[in-house]
Chains A and B, each alone.
Chain A
Amino acid sequence: DAGVTQSPTHLIKTRGQHVTLRCSPISGHKSVSWYQQVLGQGPQFIFQYYEKEERGRGNFPDRFSARQFPNYSSELNVNALLLGDSALYLCASSLWGRGTEAFFGQGTRLTVV
């Protein structure tokens, strides 16, 4: 079975640009969560979606948005990129969100220059 897949693996963007990151969950999983991990820190929660509805949101500015599609895949969008947005962005899928094991993809390494 395929695990959680994220694309692209690496990405370089310029300040002010927009970026879209994609995530495909494990087959049968209905919940997707997004995390930002800055070097040397633990992952910071950004969003959780379940059955295409937002279930949780972390302390991130409105420049960050996400959505979940009918096939349960998800996109994370970041507008007006800042240098501080450079990080590893991780996607995790689980059967139904809280209380169930979350499985992570390998992440997208975003560098903003």
Chain B
Amino acid sequence: DIQMTQSPSSLSASVGDRVTITCRASQGIGNHLVWFQQKPGKAPKSLIYAASSLQSGVPSKFSGSGSGTDFTLTISSLQPEDFATYYCQQYSRYPLTFGGGTKVEIK
């Protein structure tokens, strides 16, 4: 199985900060990676697909990069509505696997 390791597991940041979350795959997955945002009590929301393509309707402050084994999600200027938990998911092969999540909290 492909293991997805996210770091950090949590972070504290201020409104306006630039935030970067990383996701590392245990083997190469090309660009078969998606990023999600999840708020408490809500379903996940897809942000980025194919590692760097923005889902329809997602603001451009979110961006993704990487290929192979190392990926990043960047939020260019953190806003109050961005405080949430973020997950990555690989879809290169089954079983589909998720990162453990990164909780972004208010400093």
Please indicate whether A and B come from the same complex rather than being unrelated chains. Answer: no
